[in-house]
A and B are shown apart, each in its own frame.
Chain A
């Protein structure tokens, strides 16, 4: 049994330590910007310059001068499309790889080779294929974020307990019914791990895609402000990208956890 004071110390630590960590980083940042990297904006200056973008997050003053959450929304829309495409292709592909040794042998090497290719490499190819920055961006997001879904779905399908398949056989379920009523629910927790990792990558890629295509969004804004020499906004974008990615991951994690318990 812990005493009441111990409990308070524990609670204080749970909230206080992360805050302390953030303060330490901001401190280091302030020192850096005051000493050896003087073109790096100070924390206070960053806030001053970013304030109108944060406090009026949905305003639209011009094509490339909008509130930070409006930019975030554009990026999220683009990510949703590319990510949706990745799931649409990746999930069936994962099932195919998981269910058939033939397809596993056929496609696994190519999956392993395409998986580590950077978004910066895919985007020019997308531009060549589609001739337009929009579809090229979606292509890049899909090509980069699909692989965790493919691999985890395949693993999930391979891990369906033989017992469940025996039950399906004794009940003489058809192929489709076995697939949708037994294998899919059994593989779902693995699949969601893949979905979560894929979403993380999709969000990672959006910045690169927007930077290279100049599309309005957090990444596009970041690159434009770098070119406009407003470095404070680069930091604002980085913080926003990090926070949004963190929230997305937490949301997916919560769904995943629910599936695992069931």
Chain B
């Protein structure tokens, strides 16, 4: 039985049909990356998996049972960090620990907060408010907050899309390491094919919207730890990248020829490969 599952899910926002007949099974311990265009409904998937929204049709299953509401066993790293601005870095993480692991002794909760802040390299910034942190640091806090609450699966909604390239690369390495060391189940949503291949065990492309659905998934058969510099010359990497890119561009082509009003959102990484 899969740990977390979408079964023939349909979802609309107002008049827009976002997802149509989308199915996905995430196994325990797996790192799955969902790759798609901006606006294809990637955030909707995270929101469905977490339980923050409900499907119109079909089912969301957690260990075989329908998901009724969000819960700490499915931790979420939001795209825009969603830190509470009136709390310090330390307090933001402690707030989550204290809420989810309420029964632990206070000493233990404080230690836990410290440990996870150190894990994301923010041991020095305990007393700073989110407004005093860079985007990369904020996302590190958000990551520490999600991990410290000890979720069984980590759902990440384009966590790195708002960051500059260098920060992005260093946080990718961080996420890769944390995924490897903690052995947590991770679902990462991204619009960056390179990022998906660098990080994930398995990649599931999401076709262009509206009415997006999942394409055939591909295992990433590249041993860890993966070296981002060597990756570019790896024939497996290039083949995989070409295959996923082709699926995504194809799906958009079909959308456009089928429906004139379909949104066209350029995807920088994809366009580079195609040209």
A residues near B (Cβ < 8 Å) are: 161, 163-164, 166-167, 169-173, 177, 181-182, 185-186, 188, 261-262
Which residue of B52, B78, B80, B86 has the most chain A CB atoms within 10 A of its CB atom?
A: B86
Closest B residue to A182 by beta carbon equals: B84
Given contacts A163-B78, A166-B78, A177-B99, contact A171 B129 (CB under 8 A): no
In angstroms, Cα B142 to Cα A166, docked, is 13
Contact indicator B70/A169 (Cβ below 8 Å)? yes
Given contacts A163-B78, A170-B52, A177-B99, contact A262 B129 (CB under 8 A): yes
Closest B residue to A173 by beta carbon equals: B99
Closest B residue to A170 by beta carbon equals: B70
Which residue of A181, A182, A186 has the most chain B CB atoms within 10 A of its CB atom?
A: A181
Chain B's nearest CB lies how many Å from the CB of A256?
14
Contact indicator A166/B86 (Cβ below 8 Å)? no
Q: Can you show 20 pairs from A to B with CB atoms below 8 A apart?
A: A163-B78, A163-B80, A163-B82, A164-B82, A166-B70, A166-B82, A167-B84, A170-B70, A170-B71, A171-B72, A171-B95, A171-B96, A171-B100, A172-B72, A173-B99, A177-B99, A185-B86, A261-B131, A262-B85, A262-B129
**SS class, residues of chain B in contact with chain A:** loop
Q: Does B76 contact A (CB under 8 A)?
A: yes
In angstroms, Cα B100 to Cα A200, docked, is 43
Contact indicator B95/A170 (Cβ below 8 Å)? no
Chain A's nearest CB lies how many Å from the CB of B159?
14
A residues within 8 A CB of B139?
none
In angstroms, Cα B50 to Cα A166, docked, is 10
B residues within 8 A CB of A161?
82
Q: For residues 221 through 264 of chain B, which have their beta carbon under 8 Å from a beta carbon of chain A?
A: none
Given contacts A163-B78, A181-B95, contact A169 B86 (CB under 8 A): no
Chain A's nearest CB lies how many Å from the CB of B71?
5
In angstroms, Cα B85 to Cα A173, docked, is 18
Q: Does B20 contact A (CB under 8 A)?
A: no
20 additional A-B pairs beyond A172-B72, A182-B84, beta carbons within 8 Å, are A161-B82, A164-B82, A164-B84, A166-B52, A166-B70, A166-B78, A167-B82, A169-B70, A170-B71, A170-B72, A170-B74, A170-B76, A171-B100, A172-B69, A172-B70, A172-B100, A177-B99, A181-B95, A186-B84, A262-B85
